[in-house]
Structure 1
Amino acid sequence: METLRNLGRSPIGLNLPAFGILLVVFGIPIVRLFLASLNAPAFSLINYQAFFGEPSNVRVLFQTIEMSVTATAICLIIGYPTAFLIVAASAQVRTALIVLTMITYLTSALVRTYAWVVILGDRGLINNLMLDLGLISIPLPLVYNRMAVYIGMVHIMLPLMILSLVSVMLGVDKSLMAAARSMGARPLAAFWRAFLPLSLPGVRSGSLLVFIICLGFYITPAALGGLRDAMLATFIAAQVESSFDMAQIGASAFILLGIAGALSILGLDPSSAQPSPKSWCRRLRSIGALKRIVHEFSAPRRAKRWTAQLYQAGGESRLPKIVGTMFVTLVMFYLLLPGVIVIVMSFSAGRFLEFPPSGFSLQWYHSFFSDPSWYGAAWISMQIGVGVAILSTTVGTLAAFGLSRAVPRLRGFLTMVILTPITIPSIVVAVGTYLGLIKLGLIGSKPGIVLAHSIGSIGYVVVIVSATLSNLDPRLEQAAKSMRAGPLQTFTRVTLPLIRPGVIGGAVLAFIHSFDEVIITSLVSGFAIRTLPLKMWENMRHEIDPTIAAVASLLTLLPVLWLIALYVTWWRSRPEGPRALPNLAK
């Protein structure tokens, strides 16, 4: 008994609830799935050979990689200059742009996919506009093709790329570029030699994260693409729904997971980016020598130009600023416009969705609140979301507190384990969770869905609460203990009030994550439970019910409410003066 009590007080003991849920619901089932793919206990690669022996499977696999690489490249090409311009903006403008990007990132991916179906469809905004202007006589095939899939994937992943880059760029010392400029370097040279190398960690982590998430895309390719645009996640989901052969499903899932794991190892290893062949090294050295010779010949001219411009009044062209402003405006327009269009169209008075609406009406909102299938699904999602928020926040806060007290090496390993469900393709998590809930007998039940959603939500809570704990002054806890406060009293009276904004933010984010979940829910809900996103997805596949526009508008408010809740808790908890230690003698 004393051993269990000591374990509960240790940092590792505080992580036991989180690891228990992850192990039972996801960890053990995914190991069983891997062993099944190897035909354990015989252990053979026959299932993997069968996968690669089928030309259609190989085509889908390479198509998945190609589409993921392309979407990641587009996100990087657009996201890097956007992040750079956001960081270079004034504090007020930078904050506003980051908030707008956060709102887009937190908005339901299903809602954003639906927005592009409405915009690109045969009766969509673009086709209707071009028909009204007389530019075309018949609607253009803008949807159900590869280009539509790329538009939807980039729209969903671009905010994540921008936020990843901004988080790194904000830590780069801006005086380095100013110093380079003072030494005669042109703006492009100063950026290339001073800023770009320091921002490469953000490029690597952002690209890696976007690529891995793109590998598991299921909803967007299925909604916007055609039969030739299927990705491996769609193939795995079809296997689960049709045959449920664990060996074949395991082989497909671990091939996808193997690609994500290999890229993760390469992306996290800085040496992997260095050229190893000697021939390439010789070429680079020769190019560098040639470059130095050219610089030596041009040095007198550059020195003369620098001396002439040294004492000139600042008359820099305003063209770069104008171009940068226009570029960021276009990116924000691309990110925010689909949601705005859906909100406006949800008030349409016509029989079909139209933009601009011919009249103002609340008929689609009335349809939502008067249809038991719609508001019943919303009520189920609310119940599950609240359950996920309570469970994830409690377990995740304990885990974050335990990780903050662990040694650095152990902390890194435990954090990596807890974040595994949100750093691998979601279809693999869905299959593993499905197997875990079958063993527990919770398929098609609300507690089962709560557990399934919590394995990802716990990771989000741990990240947010850990960030809050990193800013906590440990001397406050030490002072409380010096006043004979026990560990529990110190946590509840000192630590918890100080990290309350992070706890509340993690709880709301866990709720949003649960409320938006489709892939895992579609596998573990059975035919008995229909959440709101799942009903939206089913209606999108079979019919475009205008009621979805009203639902999408309501879901768009969730990230706004999350940011408001986070701001209010931060504003109320900010110190207005010297913070005194709470009275522990009460």
Structure 2
Amino acid sequence: MFDWRRIFLLAPVTVLLLVAFALPLLYIVPEAFSGEATKRFLRIFTSPVYTKIIRTTVRISVEATVITLIVSFPLAWVLSRAKGVRALLLGLVVLVPFLTSVLVRTFAWLAILGQRGLVNATLLSLGLISEPLPLLFSELAVVLALVHSAIPMMVFALFSVLRRIDGRVLLAAHTLGANPARAWFGMVVPLAIRGIQSGVIIVFLFTMASFIAPAFLGNQRQQMLAQVIQSEIETGANWALAAALGITLAAIATLVVIGLSMVLGVFSRWQNPGEPKPARTDLATGTVDRSLLRDPVKRAAPRFNLAAPWRVVMGYVGPVYITLVSAFLLLPLLVLFPVAFSSAEVLIFPPPGYSLRWFEEILSSPQWVDAALTSLRIGVATCVVTLILATLTVLGLGRDFRYRNTAEALMLSPMTVPAVVFALGAYLSFSRVGLIDTELGIILAHTVLGFPLVYLVASATFSSIDPGLARAAASLGANPFRVFRTVIFPLLLPGLSVGALLAMLHSFDESIASIFLSNLSVKTLPRMLWEGIRFNTSPESAAVSAMLLTATCLVILVGILVILGRSKRSSMAFQSDPDAV
């Protein structure tokens, strides 16, 4: 028997994902295999140019993923053990870069690695070099930018697993004679292998689909597949080739992810060892000599006592590591502010003087103001639609839906597809129905990309609500709508508020779909910033980036205040009436 109520609640998000996500992805296939498809794919896999681009894409993605894992694991462990103010500060160190636009984060590296940037200016002032180093337009610059953008993703993937590991396993390993390295690699890393697997896959897919970092910071030798796809679409040169490149990127990413999953799966087999083997019963039983168990065992004294020096070294390693990682994550963002107030015509650090001219030009420019208003309208519309869909979906899935895991996997599927592949499919399909260069087309794309984030927050909040409250209201005669309005919705509201902030911020800063789907009639702030950085790397772009970063920090501050306010009200309610809580 059909549950019409559940069908009604899940129908809107199902239609959205089918029309605005699944169909655009499927639309890539006929476009790629139209006409001379065989010749097209042979050109991709036999041409020295394209094969080099494929190798470069995989190499840079693997390098960035490995470095990100090595840097992020200790940070995620420290964050999982932190409490109080320390946890809040470390969380902000990770959260602020994560919610900042990729365009802004990438542009910051221009101000750091440029010939007249922070690094060269510092080295020249210290007399360590006589002329600026060629740091820009290199693989090092591209990898640094990708790692900087990927660290928050890896930390969040690891954090959820590491926080469930009992910290006493390290103490147990130490008492059994294991040195710190063996304790970490023998206990903590295997227990965290699921988080490592998720983080590696997320980061690899993100770096494979990146085209902003190689476009701004690399040269022809660092050209990546996503960059070529974006170029083909923007110039309108060859849509079929762009679609074939998109399928190639998706196929290579899938193969590499399967390989990584198989390798990491080997290390996680011991967590699911299967049924234990039955004990042998054919062995002769007799009296066991237990006298040896009563004899004391003397442990040989170590030749060198490294315990005290190790403790001293480790006492400094932790704070130094946290300081360096925090500086790496925040410094590129902080550098934007002095550059934004520069009086120079080009990017120079430190600025020769300070002025408000760039902010005045932005605020008096009709193009920038229109782009900001367009992004604001799109962001508000995306926020409203996403909140409605997330609320209906959470209520539709409920707590006892038989196929909940499968349904959630489908709901979160936009997070698993490389953004550039989805943007390519959206461009090809939306162009057939007149949605290219329209606010409606961008709203649909942003809703698809932002829905998983809002759903995760709303679902976590809904799962924390006591189901007995709804049953109690229903037993007192309240109909389902009144139960939702008076019980569920007020308790769900804090999570929806945080989700609304995330949806608004994600839409306002989203770069890839905005670049693909906007051009002349509709220009969003990310699109304007993309063009400004490509054609004129002046402090004007730094001023826009600083304003976007400030807006991001304000949204995060509002979210923190909402969460703290809810915690304070819960604490006051508990103190006033503990039995009621």
**Class of the TM-score when normalised by the shorter of the 2 chains:** 0.7 to 0.9
1:195-214 paired onto structure 2 within 5 Å: 195-214=188-207
Question: Residue by residue, what CA displacement relative to the aligned partner does 1:117-176 show, whole Å, maximum 9, x if unpaired?
Answer: 111112212223333444444322110111110111111111211222222111101122
Residue 388 of structure 2 aligns to which amino acid in structure 1? T
Give 1:443 deviation, angstroms: 1.6
Q: SS state of the match for residue 361, structure 1?
A: coil
1:314-393 paired onto structure 2 within 5 Å: 317-393=311-387
Q: Is the 8 A contact 1:86 1:166 kept in 2?
A: yes
Q: Tell which deviates more after alignment, 64-73 or 423-432.
A: 423-432
1:197-346 paired onto structure 2 within 5 Å: 197-243=190-236, 245-266=238-259, 272-273=265-266, 303-305=299-301, 317-346=311-340
Q: For structure 2, which runs of at least 5 residues remain unmatched after alignment? A: 270-295
Residue 363 of structure 1 aligns to which amino acid in structure 2? R
Q: Select which of 530, 542, 547 maps to 2:540.
A: 547
Give 1:272 deviation, angstroms: 4.5
1:476 aligns with 2:469: yes
1:386-405 paired onto structure 2 within 5 Å: 386-405=380-399
Residues 422 and 543 (structure 1), Cα distance of their counterparts in 2 relative to 1, 3 Å cut: same
Partner of 1:429: 422
Q: SS state of the match for residue 60, structure 1?
A: helix
Residue 484 of structure 2 aligns to which amino acid in structure 1? F
Residues 319 and 391 (structure 1), Cα distance of their counterparts in 2 relative to 1, 3 Å cut: same
Residue 185 of structure 1 aligns to which amino acid in structure 2? A
1:525-564 paired onto structure 2 within 5 Å: 525-564=518-557
Partner of 2:28: 33
Give 1:326 deviation, angstroms: 0.3
TM-score by length of 2: 0.87
Aligned length: 545
Q: Is the 8 A contact 1:24 1:436 kept in 2?
A: no
Give 1:227 deviation, angstroms: 1.3
Counterparts of 2:495 and 2:75, CA distance in 1? 28
Q: Is the 8 A contact 1:18 1:458 kept in 2?
A: no
Q: Is the 8 A contact 2:76 2:156 kept in 1?
A: yes
Partner of 1:145: 138
Q: Select which of 11, 20, 28 maps to 1:16.
A: 11
Give 1:275 deviation, angstroms: 11
1:141-180 paired onto structure 2 within 5 Å: 141-180=134-173
Residues 400 and 337 (structure 1), Cα distance of their counterparts in 2 relative to 1, 3 Å cut: same
Partner of 1:129: 122
Residues 235 and 315 (structure 1), Cα distance of their counterparts in 2 relative to 1, 3 Å cut: closer
Residue 343 of structure 1 aligns to which amino acid in structure 2? F
Question: Residue by residue, what CA displacement relative to the aligned partner does 1:396-428 show, whole Å, maximum 9, x if unpaired?
Answer: 2212332344535x2222222222222211111
Question: Residue by residue, what CA displacement relative to the aligned partner does 1:34-86 show, whole Å, maximum 9, x if unpaired?
Answer: 1333449x9x7554334213222121112111110000011011111222233
Q: Is the 8 A contact 1:377 1:530 kept in 2?
A: yes
Q: Is the 8 A contact 2:427 2:517 kept in 1?
A: yes
Counterparts of 1:356 and 1:333, CA distance in 2? 18
Partner of 1:577: 573
Counterparts of 2:496 and 2:194, CA distance in 1? 28
Counterparts of 2:419 and 2:237, CA distance in 1? 18
Partner of 1:292: none
Counterparts of 2:345 and 2:251, CA distance in 1? 48
1:19-98 paired onto structure 2 within 5 Å: 19-39=14-34, 47-89=40-82, 91-98=84-91
Q: Is the 8 A contact 2:397 2:404 kept in 1?
A: yes
Residue 402 of structure 1 aligns to which amino acid in structure 2? G
Residues 267 and 363 (structure 1), Cα distance of their counterparts in 2 relative to 1, 3 Å cut: same
Q: Is the 8 A contact 2:197 2:264 kept in 1?
A: no
Q: Select which of 112, 116, 141 maps to 1:119.
A: 112
Q: Is the 8 A contact 1:257 1:428 kept in 2?
A: yes
Q: Is the 8 A contact 1:457 1:513 kept in 2?
A: yes
Q: SS state of the match for residue 552, structure 1?
A: helix
Q: SS state of the match for residue 392, structure 2?
A: helix
Counterparts of 1:102 and 1:271, CA distance in 2? 27
Q: Is the 8 A contact 2:194 2:268 kept in 1?
A: no
Counterparts of 2:129 and 2:198, CA distance in 1? 43
Q: Tell which deviates more after alignment, 227-236 or 254-263.
A: 254-263
Q: Tell which deviates more after alignment, 226-235 or 249-258.
A: 249-258
Q: Is the 8 A contact 2:209 2:420 kept in 1?
A: yes
Partner of 1:293: none
